[in-house]
Amino acid sequence: MAFHMALFDASIANGAVLLQVAAVSDPVIAPAGNGLLVHQLVPKLARVVAVGTNLTRVQLTSGSLRRFTPLDLAPVNVGTAIESPSRIYDLVDEPYDLAVNEELDAFGVQSNAGAQRIRVAVTFCDGPFKPIRARGFSVHFVNTITLAANAFTGFQPTFDSGLPSGTFVLVGARILSATGLFFRVIPRGGSPLRPGGMMVQAQDTYIMARQRRGDLGEWMRFSNTTPPQIECFAGSADTSVEGYLDLVQVA
């Protein structure tokens, strides 16, 4: 299986009426108006996570979703961080079918007195997720880097210890920064897809979203000479990123 995370992010006015949240420019998923075109490599909907300081409602809609009804999320993450445990619309066991090249749009409502940013992360996939149950290990990194506020910033993680020679499967990750919200992993060669998940902002935050140690199956494969890059989306210009990558050696 394969998956890719894309993002919607916008400042919207307060009120009780759904307002569109524009898609963030994506290296894989093509834009369509303020939405995204469903890609043939990952034509199914696996997960949706929304966060905003005064967020009250989020909805996804597309032609195929409207055959039933637009997809309303409940609950949502209220605040400046993903809550612990995370509020997530999780479909990884039975993803929803979308139509290739149809437009997927996001809408939201927030109750602040003025305009306020909301973010909606959408994970596309090609089928049900298959957990991996094998002995693995985690590698730790800390990078001193300034993240761009409200945008993805990529970097090469600096591991505490070098990887042994061989081929590895990435089976999970935990990424932390002061205002971090979402992360993606960028392969060096091979598939263009960028799997990702939710970031944490404190050492004791427990996301509880099947992001660790094989619960979401195989994210990607790489050799010790071509470790993947990571990109993080934060609310402010954080100056440090810390994390763990969960790996299983296969060769």
| The 3-state secondary structure of the chain, one letter per residue | CCEEEEEEEEEECCCCCCEEECECCCCCCCEECCEEECCCCCCEEEEEEEEECCEEEEEEECCCHHHCCCEEECCCEECCCCCCCCCCEECCCCCEECCCCCEEEEEEEECCCCCEEEEEEEEEECCCCCCCCCCCEEEEEEEECCCCECCEEEECCCECCCCCCCEEEEEEEEEECCCEEEEEEECCCCCCCCCEEECECCCCCCCCCCCCCCCCCCCEEEECCCCCEEEEEECCCCCEEEEEEEEEECC
State the pLDDT at residue 185: 98
Q: 137-249: same fold as 3-125? A: yes
Q: What spatial distance separates the first Cα and last Cα of the chain, rounded to whole Å?
A: 20
- Look at residue 207 in the predicted model and tell me its pLDDT: 84
Q: What is the pLDDT of residue 231?
A: 98
Which amino acid, one-letter code, is at 107?
F
In this prediction, the residues of the chain whose per-residue pLDDT falls under 50 are: none
Query: 131 preceded by cis ω (within 30°)?
Result: no
Question: Fold for domain 3-125?
Answer: Jelly Rolls (2.60.120)
The pLDDT score that the predictor gives to residue 209 is: 87
The domain segmentation of the chain, as residue ranges, is 3-125, 137-249
- Structural class in CATH, domain 137-249: mainly beta
Is residue 42 within 8 Å of residue 126, measured between CB atoms? yes
Q: What is the pTM of this model?
A: 0.97
Residue 154: predicted pLDDT: 98
Spatial separation of the C-alpha atoms in residues 136 and 179, rounded to whole Å = 29
